[in-house]
Chains A and B, each alone.
Chain A
Amino acid sequence: MSVRRVMGTEVEYGISVQGQPTANPMVASSQVVNAYASSTAKARRARWDFEEESPLRDARGFDMARQVADPTQLTDEDFGLANVILTNGARLYVDHAHPEYSSPEVTTPLDVVRWEKAGEQVMLDASRMAAQVPGTAPILLYKNNTDNKGASYGAHENYLMRRSTQFAEIVRHLTPFFVSRQVVTGAGRVGIGQDGRDTTPERGFQVSQRSDYFEVEVGLETTLKRPIINTRDEPHADPAVYRRLHVILGDANLAEISIYLKVGTTSLVLAMIEDGFIDRDLSVEGAVRSLREVSHDPTLKHLLSLRDGRRLTAVQLQMEYLELARKYVEDRYGADADDQTVDVLARWESVLDRLERDPMECAEDLDWVAKLKLLQQYRDRDHLDWDDAKLHLIDLQYADVRPDKGLYHRLAGAGRIRRLLDDATIEAAMHDPPVDTRAYFRGRCLDKYADSVAAASWDSVIFDLPGRESLQRVPTIDPLRGTRAHVGELIDRSDSAQALVAAITR
């Protein structure tokens, strides 16, 4: 494989109710998700009014929302927290005390960017809709990973991998990559340590939002004793063929190039691991400690100790992976490599070269550098120490999802951060599913047959059809079936869910 594979991301957003620091975050998160769910479900409710013979359907508005819960999230169901599937195939719900957007399954890094950025716009709309409810204080959402007071929340990546790959090989080759990739993928943070209190004058800023919250190398946990490599194994696909690698150490990125390189380079490294291509051991001594040390040195001069005796900076260690990836793509594809694989390799190299020379040269590409540059400009102009509240505010407000207040958005709007996609492309992805995975089937069914969809999840769509006593479950166990090529024409010509289900089961 190349940079292409079935993948997706999940982002938990920071949430606060303006002027009410003690507001219950679960309630606020539910308000946000429910506001979006109600506004997008208007058409369905109108139609329910025409079908009075079916009182159950009235209750289904949020029942359906709950039933789409991923089976692992049944505790959420106990709380009755909001949970909906969108017509773009994504899932919008409340996880723990945060609103979360899980992107639909896609197959390329650029599509990860597109549907993850669409999620930011969904969150923006959701918060605006929630604010329209009379008596509701404005709810602010942040695409970041920490409150700088000890709490952290995740931005996870999911990569479908071959089951036949030994997990020990994944751990061995992926750990050094994860320790070092933050120089590309970090979102930047003011504050050192989990509670952010260590703001000694010369070390107040670090590369990654998340690195201080990782305590072990491998494990199943996601909320305590977080591991660099997470072992959750729940493929949402045929478990005999696939595993889903659940990556929990990444930062929530706003810069499109940061997201693009994060998933593009990781997917390439996974391809090399699956194919047994990595012929050397790049293991780093003390991975957990090293992860922090790399993050704590934005000059990128910190030297990692490799088990083979070498001392390399994180950028140099990334260059080792880049060199392997170049050889791998040349070896497997030669001139036939697909455009995005070629593009990811070129951008990765360009970014690493510049980081090696002077990290500030990446201020138009990468979140952490853009943020650091802005902070440094404030420090120079106003003579601020790293513990100054204004610098902490800039860190926080960088991630505000509102285009007028969010500093990422202000910088991108002023042409100071490069983009890969235009606004219209992202906006369309708020509603349209990707065409080349089962998310297409899920999204189209929710769009066209909303009345008849009782529930949906990653691996099934469940219909409630007139005249049928039991629910009709259509499994979607293969992520690469149910694409537009498979079912687009069938859905186009099926006027009703009955017709669709009849055609599928015939």
Chain B
Amino acid sequence: MAQEQKQPRRSSQDETTTEEVAETDVAERKEMIDEDVDAILDEIDEVLESNAEDFVKSFIQKGGQ
């Protein structure tokens, strides 16, 4: 039986954010979503390979099945 195992967010700050959302107006909520998006993009910016163009160009495969 498949059990849902959604991994918990790492910081307790996120939980607080979730509770607050219900009481905020739409504009504030949008601001929070924007901040959330910024946070994940910042995190991914840090791990993206440097020099995207060269990296993508040098990924050359032979065909398989």
- Identify which of residues 10-59 in chain B touch chain A, using a CB-to-CB cut-off of 8 Å: 10, 37-38, 40-41, 43-44, 47-49, 52-53, 55-59
Chain A residues near B59 (CB, 8 Å)?
A: 14, 16, 21, 142, 147-148, 396
**B64/A153 in contact, CB under 8 A:** yes
Of B2, B7, B49, most A-chain CB atoms within 10 Å:
B2
Kindly state the interface size class of chain A when it binds its partner.
35 or more
Q: Select which of A95, A110, A347, A422 is within 8 A of B64 by beta carbon.
A: A95
Q: Select which of B47, B57, B65 is within 8 A of A248 by beta carbon.
A: B65
- State the CA gap A419–B2 with chains docked (Å): 9
**A14/B9 in contact, CB under 8 A:** no
**B7/A419 in contact, CB under 8 A:** yes
Q: How far is the CB of A12 from chain B (nearest CB, A)?
A: 4
**B52/A420 in contact, CB under 8 A:** no
**B48/A397 in contact, CB under 8 A:** yes
Contact of A21 with B6 at beta-carbon distance under 8 Å, contacts A339-B1, A389-B52 already known: no
**A410/B47 in contact, CB under 8 A:** yes
Chain A residues near B60 (CB, 8 Å)?
A: 16, 21, 147, 149, 151
**A414/B10 in contact, CB under 8 A:** yes
Residue of B nearest to A406 (CB): B47
**A223/B40 in contact, CB under 8 A:** no
Chain A residues near B57 (CB, 8 Å)?
A: 21
Interface size on B, residues (CB 8 A): 32
- State the CA gap A154–B48 with chains docked (Å): 25
**Would you call the interface of chain B mostly helix, strand, loop, or mixed?**
loop
- State the CA gap A407–B38 with chains docked (Å): 15
**B41/A377 in contact, CB under 8 A:** yes
Chain B residues near A410 (CB, 8 Å)?
A: 43-44, 47
**Would you call the interface of chain A mostly helix, strand, loop, or mixed?**
mixed
Q: Select which of A393, A415, A419, A422 is within 8 A of B48 by beta carbon.
A: A393
Q: Select which of B5, B38, B64 is within 8 A of A223 by beta carbon.
A: B64
- State the CA gap A374–B39 with chains docked (Å): 12
**A393/B52 in contact, CB under 8 A:** yes
- State the CA gap A411–B49 with chains docked (Å): 16
A405 interface residue (CB < 8 Å to B):
yes
**B53/A97 in contact, CB under 8 A:** no
Q: How far is the CB of B58 from chain A (nearest CB, A)?
A: 4
A96 interface residue (CB < 8 Å to B):
yes
Q: How far is the CB of A99 from chain B (nearest CB, A)?
A: 10
A167 interface residue (CB < 8 Å to B):
no
Q: Digitize A8-36: 1 where CB-to-B-CB distance is under 8 Å, 0 elsewhere.
A: 00001011100001000100000000000
Q: How far is the CB of B50 from chain A (nearest CB, A)?
A: 10
Q: Select which of A96, A381, A396, A405 is within 8 A of B65 by beta carbon.
A: A96
Q: Select which of A25, A223, A347, A415 is within 8 A of B61 by beta carbon.
A: A25
Q: How far is the CB of B62 from chain A (nearest CB, A)?
A: 4
**B58/A15 in contact, CB under 8 A:** no
**A153/B49 in contact, CB under 8 A:** no
A412 interface residue (CB < 8 Å to B):
yes
**B41/A381 in contact, CB under 8 A:** yes
Q: How far is the CB of A20 from chain B (nearest CB, A)?
A: 8
**B8/A415 in contact, CB under 8 A:** yes
Q: How far is the CB of B52 from chain A (nearest CB, A)?
A: 4
Q: How far is the CB of B9 from chain A (nearest CB, A)?
A: 5
**A12/B65 in contact, CB under 8 A:** yes
**B7/A390 in contact, CB under 8 A:** no
Q: How far is the CB of A389 from chain B (nearest CB, A)?
A: 4
**B47/A415 in contact, CB under 8 A:** no
Contact of A25 with B2 at beta-carbon distance under 8 Å, contacts A390-B48, A410-B47, A415-B9 already known: no
**B43/A420 in contact, CB under 8 A:** no
17 contacts between A and B (CB under 8 A): A16-B58, A21-B59, A97-B63, A97-B64, A152-B64, A222-B65, A248-B65, A377-B40, A381-B37, A390-B52, A392-B52, A392-B56, A411-B40, A415-B8, A416-B40, A419-B4, A420-B2
The 4 tightest CB contacts between A and B, nearest first, are A153-B64, A21-B58, A97-B62, A147-B61
